[in-house]
Structure 1
Amino acid sequence: MNRAMRPTLLPAQRTGNPPVDRAAARSRSGGGGRAVTRALGGTVRRTVLPSGLRILTEAIPTTRSVSFGVWVAVGSRDETRPQCGVSHFLEHLLFKGTHKRDALQISAEIEAVGGETNAYTTKEYTCYYARVLDADLPLAIDVVVDAVADSILTPADVETERGVILEEIAMHDDEPGDEVHDLLARAVFGDHPLGRLISGTEETISPMTRAQIQGFYRRRYTAPSIVVAAAGNLEHTEVVRLVRAALRGGPLDTGPAAPAPLRSAIRPVRTRRTGAVVEHKDTEQAHLVLGCAGLGRLDERRFALDVLNNILGGGMSSRLFQEIREKRGLAYSVYSYFSQYADAGIFGVYAGCAPGKVDAVLELIRAELAELAAHGITEAELARGKGMARGGYVLGLEDNGSRMSRLAKGELLFGDLMTVDELLARVEAVTAADVNAVAADLLSRPMSLAVVGPFDDGDFAAA
C-alpha cells in the first residue's frame, strides 16, 4: 500500500459567502431515518445517511470510468506514542479479508474487470480507493466498502503484514531523499504526533497486538467519520443505493448520528526550538531540508503562500532553481514545498548535493530566503507564480481520481467545496503585498535543519 509522505492539499474552503450553519446542517442530516441530499453546484451532489456517513459524487458523463474512494478521518496524528503506526498497519490489513471475501478474492474480483485498488495513510486521514470501468462500479463499491467496514483482521494476517510493514520501514530508511523530510517534521514538531513517522517504527510495530489494532479499528472507523466519494460516469442516486446496500447489516450500519465535525484547530501545535537533526549515512549525495513551522490549511493566507512557494522554489524558473542549479550547478534537485494540517503546517526547502557542497548550498538558500523576506517579489514573479497556481489547480483535476479526491478532501478537511471558478478567483485576487507579507512572516522565522548524509551532529552545531 502507498504511504503518503507529504500530502498536497487543495484549498477548498468557500469564502466570501454566508457562514455555513453547521449545527443546523447536522440536525437536518443526522436523524429521521432517511438520507438527505443536496446539490453542491454543477454535477456535484452530497447525501448524508442517517448514520452520519457522507456520500459525494461528481458526474462526468464524457468518461467511461469511475474513481471510487472511502475516506476515513483518521490518521497517524490520532495515535498515542505506543500506537505509532497503527493507522498504517490497519490500512494494510483491511485488504486481507472480510466475512465475504478472502484477500485473493478482494484483488481478483477487481482485477478481473481491469480495475485497480489501493490505499494510503496520511497524518490526518486514510483513503481506500478503486478505479474501474463505469459498468463495474457496483462491484467496486461492494468490494471496497466491504473491506473497510467488515475486515476480520485474523492473527495470521496480522503477523504477515507486520513483516511486510517492517520491510517497508527498512526500504524507507534506504531512501534518504524521503527520510530527510521526516527528519524535518521531527525537528519542527518533536514528539507531537505530527513529528512521528506515519509507518511507525520497528520499536512500535514489532510488539503491536491484534487486540490493539482491532480496538483502534472499531473505535475510530465509525460512520460519522467516513466520507464516500466518486467521480466519473455515474448517477448519484445509484451510488447512494449501492453504498447503502453494501453497508446494510454491517458494523457501519448504525443508528442516527451527525457527521463528525471538522478536526479542531483551536489549539495551535507547539513546535520545538530550532536545531539540526542529522542522520549519518555513507551516501554519495547529501540530502538536506531547511524549514520551519508553516501555515494551517484554513489560514486565509494559503493562496498567497502557494504563489510564494512557486516563486521561491516551485519550478525551473524559481529563484532557488535558477540560482543554485542553473547558475552555479551546485545541486541536481532543489525546491521548496509546504504541507498543511488543521492546526499547523510546515514549510521547507530541499536540496540534494555532493557532501562537499552542503555549506555553499545552505548559504545560498539562507540568502535567498532573507532576500525574499526583506525585499519581496516583482510583478513579473507575481504573474508567473499565479499562473503556476492556476495551472496546478486546474490541470490537477483532469482525471476522475483527482476529482474524487477533491470531493473527499473538501468535505473532510474543509467542510465545504469550492468550485474551480471560485478557486481561480481566489488565486487571481492575490496581490504582491499579500505575498510579501507572507514572505516577511514565514521566511524570517527561525529555521530547523534536517540532513541525511556522511555527517555527524557536530558538523552542523552552528546551524
Structure 2
Amino acid sequence: MQSKISLFKTLRRRRLPEGPKLICLPDENASTVSIQIWLPAGTSAEKKDEAGLAHFLEHMIFKGSRNLGVGELASRVEAAGGDINAYTMSDATYYYLACLPETAEDCLEMLADAVWWPRLDQTEADRERGVILAEIDRSMDQPDQVLQHRLFEKAYGKDHPYGWPIMGSRRAVSGFGRRELRRFHSRCYAPSRSIVAVSGRVDMSAIRGVLREKFRAEGELPSSVRQSRRIHVPAPRPVGAAPRLSILRERSGLAHLVVAYEIPSFTDTDAPALEVLAMILGMGESSRLYKKMCVETSLMHEVSAENFFSLGAGLLFLGGTAASGQAASAAEMIVRIGREIVRTSPATPEELERVRLNFLSDMEFRREGLSGYARIAGYAELLAGDARFAEVYLNRLMKVGAKEVSRVAERYLRPEGATSGVLIPLNAGGGATRKELLRGILRGFSEENSEASGPTGARKKTGTAARERGEALASRLGRRGPKRVRRGEREVVFRLPGGARLIVQPGGVARVFAISVVCLGGQRLEDKKRAGLHYLMSNLAAQATRSMDSDKLAGRIDGLGAVLEGFSGRNSIGLSGSCISPVSDELIEIFIGVLTEPAFSQGDLSLTLREIRAERRSDMDDLSDVSRLRAMALLYGDHPFGRHPLGDPRALSRIDPRALRRAWRRCVVPGNLVLSVAGDVDPAAISKKLGRLLKGWTGRSLAWRPPLPPPPPVVPARGRSRRQVVEGASQSHIQLAFLGANFSDSRRYALSVLTTALGSQGGGLFWELRERRGLAYAVFASSEEGIDPGPVSFYAATAPEAEEEAVEVIHSELARVRESGLGQEEFDRAKAFLIGEHLRSLQRAGAKASEAAFDTLYGLEREGTDAFRKKIQAVRAEDVLAVARTFLAPEKGAMVRLGPPIRGRRRRRASR
C-alpha cells in the first residue's frame, strides 16, 4: 500500500477575526523569509466593462497608501534588503516579497497597509495608465503572447472573463479611473477572503500579532469590502465551430503553433491525470512530442505541453515553433501524438515513473526558494479552500496509472474541445492556408491514419517496480531533512587527480544536489571565424557520451527528475547539473561521462545547428534582446564581446565532430577546470567518488595551454548612437552601454551600487521614467564584469512618441550622478538591496555551486555572504561619484534605439 506523501513538513493555519487566513511554513534553517498576500481578484472577478481592472489595481497598490507615499513600499522593502513584486492571474492577484528575517514584521506591516488601505489617487492613476499601456504594447511585440491572447479569446469567447487579456485593451485601460478602482477594490480585496502565506525563518505568533495590531490600529474596512461575494466562473462559450482555428500574420522569425484542448478545473479529480498526460507528451527531450516533432521529423524547432488550470474550465496547450511551410504537417502530428496515447501507445511504466520523479523533484526544489513553497500553499488555499489540497493533488498524481492517462486523453483530446492557432511571420512566403491547417488537424484526429509514435515493442511488467521506486524516493525525501552541517564545515576545498580543483559546500534547507564544472573559454577566446564555437560545443557536449546516445541520455536525465546542461558565456564554458539528493550518485556518473567522453555525433551536431539557426531567425521576437546585442556590437566593435553569442550559423556549419572533439580536449583539461558541488552532500564522500571517476581521464588529458587573448576593448573616443527602424514594432527600445570594470578592478562594487541605485524599483532612473512620468514599463540598469571590461547598461522601453523624452531622462539622470553622486537615501538603499539580493541568491544549491566555481576559476577572493556584505558596506559615496565620472562620461557611451518610424513627438500632459 502506498504511503501518503507529506508536502509541507510544518504548516500552520489561523484565521484572524474579520481578517485574512494566515498560512505559516516555518523553517528555522532558512536564511530569508517569503511573504505573500493572495486575493480573489483576477480576471474572473471582472465584469466585461472592467477587463484589465484587476491588473490596473495591482499597479496602483504600489502608488501610495494610508501610511506610505508613492513608491515608498518598494523603496522601503529594498532598503530593508528585500525585493517585492506582484502578479495578476485569471483567478487571483498576489503580492510577494522576500526579505531578511529581522525585517519580516516591518515588511508585512507595510505590505498589508498597501494592499488593504491604498490611496488610489486619480493623478497617480493617470500617470500609471501610461506605464500599463507600455506593458500592453510590450506584449504586442511578443509573437507568443499575441497568439495566446487570440487562443484564449477563441476558446472561451469574448464574453467570458478568461477570453479577455489580463492587462485589458488600450481602450478599456484608457477609461479606468479612481472610481472604478475603488469599486473593484471594495468588491475583491476583502480581508476575510484573502490569504497571507509566509515561509522561512518566521514566528507564527509574531506574524499573527503584526496583522492583528494592523487591523486594530487602522480600523475596520468598509462593509462592502468585508462582505464581498464568492466568484462564479461561467462555462466557456467558444467562438466558431469545432475544431476552431485562428491564423495570424505578425512580425516574427518563426511560425508559432498551438493546439489547445478544453479541460476541467484545478480541483477536478481528472486534473492530476491531465498533469501526467501533459508531462508525458511535452516534458523534456525524452517526451513524445520532442522526440517525434524535433528529432525524428524535424517538423518543429521546439515543442512543449502545459496545462492552464483555474477555478473554471482550463486548457491543455500543445505547441511550439516551426518553419512556416511546415505548420499544417506539424499541427496534424501534434494532434495524432496526443490521440495515440488513447489506444495504440498507452503510457509506459518508465514514463509514469519519470513524471512522478520530476514532480517530486520540482516540489523539493521549491522548498529551496521558499517563495515557491509559499506560492503552492497560497494558490491551493485560494482556489481549493485548503492549502493541504496541494498534498491531496500530489498524492493523486503519484497514483495515476496508464489506464487513467488514456481515459483522460480519450475524454478531453477531442475535436469538439480543440482550439488551434498559428502565427505566421509577415515576411514568410506562402505558409499554410486555413484549409490546409484544418485538413491537417482533422487528419490527426482520424483513427485510420494513426501510427504509433510512442514507445513500441514488448512491454515489460515493470509498473510495480517503477511505482515502488517513486514511493521509496518520496519516503526518503519526507523522512528527514538535509544532512546537518557542523560549524566551520561550510566549504571544503580539495585537489583532484591531475590538479583539478573541487569546492564542496554542504547543507541547505532542501534535499537537493547541484554540481558545476567551469573552464576558461567562451566568447573572449573565439576569433571571428570561430564565433559561437563554445556555445555550440557546450550545448552539444551535454547531449550524449561515447557509451550513451542522446536519446538514452535524455531518458536517463528526465527519468531522474534531474537537469544536465552545457553553458557558454563571455569568459567561460562549462556544465551544470542538479537533482534531488537521493538520486545524486546516478547524476554524478552521467555528469562525469559527459565531461570526459562527450560524443559529438554528426546527428546531434546537425540537430543542434538547426536549432541555432532557428534561434537566430527568432531574434526579432524579442526586441529588448536585439537592442542589447546591437548596443554591444556598437560598444565593443571588433572585440569578441561585440559579436552575437550564438555566432554565425554559416560559419558553424563548416565545423565537424572531429573539430569539436579536438577543441573540447584542448579546453576541458584538469589544469583549466574547477568542479563545485553544493547541497545535501558529504564532502569526503563526494571527493573520493569524483577522484575515482576522473582518475583515468586525467592521465590521458592534455596540459592546459591558454590561447592568446584578444586585444582589450577600446573605450570610444566619442559617443556612438544608432536608431534602427523595425516595421510593425509597438514600442521603442533604448539601450545605452558603457565599458565597465574587469574582475580585478575593485571599483566594480561601486559600479554595482550605482546601477542598483538607478535601476531598482526605488531607484532614480526607475522613479523618473516609470513612477513620476509614466513613460516606461520596463526599466533596467546593470553592471557586469569580465576578464576584459564588461558592460554597464541602461535600458528602457517606451511608446515611440515618448522616445525622445525617455532618452532625455536617461541622459539627465546620468548627468545628475556624474555631477553630485547619489543621495544618501538612495545610496543606503542600494547597498542594503545588494546585500539582501546576494543572500537570497545563495539559498539555492545551484547558485552556490556556480558562484564558488566562477570565483575560483577567475582567481577571485571567495565571496561568501559575510565577505560580500563587507565589500559593499565599504563602498563610500565618493567612490560612486568617482566611478560615475570615470565610466559614464557621455563621450564613452554607445546608444542603440530600436523601434517603429517616429511619426510625431509625445504630447506633454496638462497635469505637469
Distance 1:338 1:209, change over 3 A: same
Q: What is the CA-CA distance between 1:229 and the residue it aligns to?
A: 0.8
Equivalents in 2 of 1:332, 1:276: separation in Å?
23
Q: Which residue of structure 1 aligns with residue 604 of structure 2?
A: 157
Contact 1:410 1:417 in 2 (8 A): yes
Which stretch has the larger CA shift, 396-405 or 88-97? Answer: 88-97
Q: What is the CA-CA distance between 1:317 and the residue it aligns to?
A: 0.8
Equivalents in 2 of 1:260, 1:55: separation in Å?
21
Structure 2 counterpart of 1:269, which letter? P
Report matched runs for 1:435-446 at 5 Å: 435-446=880-891
Q: Which residue of structure 2 aligns with residue 232 of structure 1?
A: 679
2:546 to 94, 99, 102: 99
Q: What is the CA-CA distance between 1:431 and the residue it aligns to?
A: 1.5
Structure 1 counterpart of 2:773, which letter? R
Which stretch has the larger CA shift, 429-438 or 446-455? Answer: 446-455
Distance 1:84 1:345, change over 3 A: same
1:424 to 869, 890, 896: 869
Structure 1 counterpart of 2:757, which letter? I
Q: What is the CA-CA distance between 1:440 and the residue it aligns to?
A: 2.0
Structure 1 counterpart of 2:794, which letter? V
2:858 aligned counterpart, secondary structure: helix
Structure 1 counterpart of 2:720, which letter? G
1:249 aligned counterpart, secondary structure: helix
2:694 to 247, 264, 268: 247
Contact 2:841 2:847 in 1 (8 A): yes
Equivalents in 1 of 2:754, 2:748: separation in Å?
10
Q: What is the CA-CA distance between 1:445 and the residue it aligns to?
A: 4.4
1:334 aligned counterpart, secondary structure: strand
Equivalents in 1 of 2:629, 2:689: separation in Å?
40
Structure 1 counterpart of 2:576, which letter? Y
1:55 aligned counterpart, secondary structure: strand
2:721 to 257, 276, 284: 276
Matched, 1:312 2:758: yes
Which stretch has the larger CA shift, 355-364 or 445-454? Answer: 445-454
**Post-superposition CA distance 1:299-325 (Å, at most 9, x none):** 111111111111111x11111111111
Contact 2:542 2:566 in 1 (8 A): no
Structure 2 counterpart of 1:156, which letter? G
Q: What is the CA-CA distance between 1:93 and the residue it aligns to?
A: 1.2
Q: What is the CA-CA distance between 1:240 and the residue it aligns to?
A: 1.8
Q: What is the CA-CA distance between 1:213 and the residue it aligns to?
A: 2.5
User: With structure 2 as the length reference, what TM-score do the two structures score?
Assistant: 0.44
Report matched runs for 1:354-393 at 5 Å: 354-393=799-838
Equivalents in 2 of 1:264, 1:385: separation in Å?
38
Q: What is the CA-CA distance between 1:214 and the residue it aligns to?
A: 2.8
Mark the runs of 5 or more structure 1 residues left unpaired by the alignment.
2-39, 457-463
Contact 1:51 1:254 in 2 (8 A): no
1:172 to 588, 600, 619: 619
**Post-superposition CA distance 1:365-423 (Å, at most 9, x none):** 10110111001122112211111111111111111111111111111123431332121
Q: What is the CA-CA distance between 1:43 and the residue it aligns to?
A: 1.8
Equivalents in 1 of 2:711, 2:735: separation in Å?
27
Structure 2 counterpart of 1:135, which letter? P
2:516 aligned counterpart, secondary structure: strand
- Kindly, what percent of the aligned residue pairs are identical? 23
Contact 1:180 1:451 in 2 (8 A): yes
Equivalents in 2 of 1:113, 1:223: separation in Å?
28
2:776 aligned counterpart, secondary structure: coil
Equivalents in 2 of 1:170, 1:246: separation in Å?
41
Distance 1:178 1:266, change over 3 A: closer
Equivalents in 2 of 1:296, 1:311: separation in Å?
20
Distance 1:449 1:440, change over 3 A: same
Q: What is the CA-CA distance between 1:279 and the residue it aligns to?
A: 4.0
Distance 1:369 1:325, change over 3 A: same
Equivalents in 2 of 1:438, 1:219: separation in Å?
38
1:56 aligned counterpart, secondary structure: strand
2:498 to 28, 51, 63: 51
Matched, 1:130 2:577: yes
1:326 to 758, 771, 781: 771
Distance 1:255 1:368, change over 3 A: closer
Equivalents in 1 of 2:708, 2:740: separation in Å?
17
1:340 aligned counterpart, secondary structure: coil
Q: Which residue of structure 2 aligns with residue 353 of structure 1?
A: 798
Contact 1:55 1:240 in 2 (8 A): yes
Q: Which residue of structure 1 aligns with residue 379 of structure 2?
A: none
Contact 2:740 2:790 in 1 (8 A): yes
Equivalents in 1 of 2:782, 2:861: separation in Å?
25
Structure 2 counterpart of 1:369, which letter? L
Which stretch has the larger CA shift, 371-380 or 108-117? Answer: 108-117
Equivalents in 2 of 1:103, 1:265: separation in Å?
34
Q: What is the CA-CA distance between 1:127 and the residue it aligns to?
A: 2.9
Equivalents in 2 of 1:265, 1:213: separation in Å?
20
Q: Which residue of structure 2 aligns with residue 294 of structure 1?
A: 740
Contact 1:72 1:126 in 2 (8 A): yes
Structure 1 counterpart of 2:755, which letter? N
Distance 1:210 1:333, change over 3 A: same
Q: Which residue of structure 2 aligns with residue 37 of structure 1?
A: none
Q: Which residue of structure 2 aligns with residue 191 of structure 1?
A: 638
Q: Which residue of structure 1 aligns with residue 210 of structure 2?
A: none
Distance 1:281 1:60, change over 3 A: same
Structure 2 counterpart of 1:368, which letter? E
- RMSD (Å) for aligned C-alpha atoms: 2.5
Q: What is the CA-CA distance between 1:455 and the residue it aligns to?
A: 5.0
Distance 1:203 1:275, change over 3 A: farther
**Post-superposition CA distance 1:248-298 (Å, at most 9, x none):** 433x444796x889x999964324443124443221111111121111122
Structure 1 counterpart of 2:795, which letter? Y
Higher relative contact order (CA 8 A, sep 6+): 1
Q: What is the CA-CA distance between 1:95 and the residue it aligns to?
A: 2.5
Q: Which residue of structure 2 aligns with residue 110 of structure 1?
A: 557
Structure 2 counterpart of 1:98, which letter? T
Distance 1:353 1:441, change over 3 A: same
Structure with the higher helix share, 1 or 2: 2
Distance 1:436 1:357, change over 3 A: same
Contact 1:56 1:229 in 2 (8 A): yes
2:844 to 396, 399, 407: 399
Contact 2:525 2:710 in 1 (8 A): no
Equivalents in 2 of 1:412, 1:279: separation in Å?
39
2:677 aligned counterpart, secondary structure: strand
Count, aligned residues:
415
Mark the runs of 5 or more structure 2 residues left unpaired by the alignment.
1-283, 285-486, 903-912
